[in-house]
Amino acid sequence: MNLHDRSVVLGVTGGIAAYKSAELVRALRQKGARVRVVMTRAAQQFITPLTLQTLSGQPVSTDLWDLTQESQIGHIDLADSAEVLLVAPATANMIAKLANGLADDLLSTIALATRARLVVAPAMNVHMYESPVLQENVERLRRRGARIVAPDSGSLACGYEGLGRLPDPDVLVEEVRAALATQDMAGETVLVTAGPTREYLDPVRFLSNRSSGKMGFSVARAAARRGARVVLVTGPTALAEPRGIEVVRVETAAEMARAVDTRVAAASVVVAAAAVADYRPKRRADEKAAKVKGGTALPLETTRDIVATIDRSRPDRIVVGFAAETGDPVEKARGKLERKRLDLIVANDVTAAGAGFDVETNVVTLIDASGVVSLPLLDKDDVADAILDRVVALRAAPTKPARAASRPARAASRRRTKARSNVRRPR
């Protein structure tokens, strides 16, 4: 989901990580959010209100006793306007206030008055973070429904190594999106495949394709936002691993097939977004092959079609495939929907502007037993949500649509019916 016109109040407290709030405001606004910033007095020692006002395009609130703002009951206006209250960075002091209901400054007062989802991102010295009283306060907030964004581990400004770093802005933006998302996939286990595979000729060379994995990663993140447990099986990509998702990294089509086989039993939804190689060399050389003058033949064999051979013994499982095509992608995708016995297939023309590999957008058509829906050019995150919207709709149907039988299966059925009709019954 995007954040277009969603209202986020960002609370910035007095830790060194407050300098990251400038990039966080920018990242939220790039996703379309309306951002209003509230700063504690200590936060202003690390970054100026003017900086965040310029980036947010909104006045920055700093004082519970500001006569101009409080003439309009400003703290209640901020509390009421928020859909999400994000406190990042959250110091140990502010976490204690939030956990114990104190309201002695503007930010803690807003937190007590708001009905918005609360997202808290602790950032501090590792020993402070690990202290029992801090952990008790964090757990108290979690029990009350706050989303706690665990800090990253690494080199801290105080010179220590360990937990305490404020996560990058894209992680915090994802937490805001999750806080706003409908939890309509809670209880589902979603298995997603993503990225390319590599089929080695020798230790140096391999066959592959242009897939970046972005579409599959977007689907995995979207499913996690909507409450699902997600397992992501991915070929080689340059993408960062999404938080809160089990990631299984593989290289070859055979490795991806094995990874899927060992995890599919638990999956209620399978989204096969990976661009699995159709062919591999018949023989992989143990040493780098020397260049041959005049060229050489390269014998190939087909790889296993993973999505077509997924175990279908679980009747409630929804299987989604992808068809990256050229020419007439919709007609080709219809054939794959039937042949591979899928519930839903996502078709796209990889030659279309803004679609295909290694870009942030896509143009797709969703095809299932009920019909065809063509989507406009969208960000891949929005495409992912559109796909999952359709999965949720299929799940909500009175009975999950039966997968279309393959042509050979239908032909065999007709032959059996004809044979039965030719059997003479005793009079």
Q: Residue 280 half-sphere exposure, CB side, CA atoms within 13 Å?
A: 20
Dihedral (CA of 88, 90, 94, 100) sign: positive
Q: How far apart are CA 417 and CA 77, in angstroms?
A: 71
Q: Residue 187 half-sphere exposure, CB side, CA atoms within 13 Å?
A: 5
Q: How far apart are CA 196 and CA 384, in angstroms?
A: 18
CA dihedral 139, 144, 146, 150 (to 10 degrees): 10
Residues with catalytic function: 158
Q: How far apart are CA 322 and CA 193, in angstroms?
A: 11
CA 404, chain centre distance (Å): 29
Q: Residue 28 half-sphere exposure, CB side, CA atoms within 13 Å?
A: 30
> How far lies 52's CA from each of 7, 11, 56, 189, 297, in Å?
16, 11, 6, 40, 62
Q: Is 69 left (phi over 0), alpha (psi -120 to 50) or beta?
A: alpha
SS3 for 298-339 is CCEEECCCCHHHCCCCCCCCEEEEEEEECCCHHHHHHHHHHH
Please name the residues in contact with 369: beta carbons below 8 A apart, sequence gap of 6 or more: 343, 401, 402, 403, 404
- Structure token pair of residue 119: 């997202």
What DSSP designation does 61 have?
B
Element (H, E) at 118: strand 117-122
Element (H, E) at 365: strand 365-368
